[in-house]
Amino acid sequence: MKEQIDESRRKFLIRLSIIMGAIPAALVAVPILGALFGPLLQRQKQEWRRVAGLDEIRIGDTKLVTYMDDNPLPWAGVTAKSAAWLRRISQDKFEAFAANCSHLGCPVRWEAKAELFMCPCHGGVYNKDGTVASGPPPRALTKLQVRINNKDIEIMTAPIPITPMSA
């Protein structure tokens, strides 16, 4: 009888130990699995976003435009905003480039007098058409699709990080 009680107590303590160990393991595993599989489960939709009016940019001008990311998380706040460089080539032709360097993602700035995009992090330089002029960038600035919709200029946006949509 005493052996049966000891045996059932042992089984109870083993099960209790397993359960008590599984709870913290699950608490640790959930965020790790979320970080690993979250990007795969996230919708990767693309959407046209208005970034400027047709009369806001003169022919030859390059302007930094901002817009909301397509798939912002509820707690993203200001980080849900993204930016692009919009350049007006002619009356009805525009080019848009991601505002981040293709090397390490630093924000590039436009130098109007030199007609170059400059990356302050590692000295990357891009021509006005987004191609690499010098420095470490491995490829051109990411080009974004642009369209005119009524009197609005719209950019085809994607969730951050911006994915290349055209070469």
Q: Which pLDDT score, from 0 to 100, does residue 94 have?
A: 93
Q: How far apart are CA 159 and CA 100, in angstroms?
A: 14
In DSSP terms, which residues pair with 93 in a beta bridge? 90
- What confidence tens digit (pLDDT) does each residue in 140-157 have? 998 999 999 988 999 988
Query: pTM for the whole thing?
Result: 0.67
Torsions phi, psi of 95, nearest 5? -130, 145
Domain positions in the chain: 1-41, 47-157
The pLDDT assigned to 95 comes to 93
For residue 1 the two structure tokens come to 């009888």
CATH class of 47-157: mainly beta
CA 145 to chain centre: 16
Extract the runs of DSSP E, i.e. beta strands, from the chain: 47-53, 62-68, 81-90, 93-98, 109-111, 116-118, 125-127, 132-134, 143-144, 146-149, 152-157
What stretches in the chain show pLDDT beneath 70?
A: 1-2, 38-45, 70-74, 76, 158-167
